[in-house]
Amino acid sequence: MFTRFNRERRRENGGEKLYANITACSHIEKEDERRERCERWVKRKEGRHWERQRERERDREREREREKERERERERKKEREREKERERKRERDSSGGERRKRKKDKKRETETGRERDIVHT
């Protein structure tokens, strides 16, 4: 019954594929009423399909936004670390700098060592 009706509809429509729910509408006798009911059913079903698809797309978009926010947070954290490191470096440099102090101390040691050598010889 349903397949015959389906074939007839295809023949009427020039062989194009039907998107109507034949089983839901087959109990209706009048052709126009049946067609209208089937089309309404299809629209409802497609509406639900598109709505689910839109919801999935929104979820993906939200996930992308969350990922971007996480990435920004990581960058901010790295920048804070760099800033702390710069601050530590500034403190060392402003107090003469550990490296500079070590160089000066070595110079003094060698100079005093030379003086000692000179004095002892």
Indicate if the pLDDT at residue 16 is higher than 70.
no
Structural domain count of the chain: 1
Compute the average pLDDT of residues 49-55: 81
The phi-psi region of residue 20 (left if phi > 0; otherwise alpha if psi is between -120 and 50; otherwise beta) is beta
**Confidence tier at 12 by pLDDT (50, 70, 90):** low
**Confidence tier at 59 by pLDDT (50, 70, 90):** very high
Range of the domain at 111: 2-120
Compute the average pLDDT of residues 63-73: 97
- Taking the C-alpha atoms of residue 5 and residue 29, their distance in angstroms, rounded to an integer, is 12
Indicate if the pLDDT at residue 73 is higher than 60.
yes
Per-residue confidence (pLDDT) for residue 19, from 0 to 100: 46
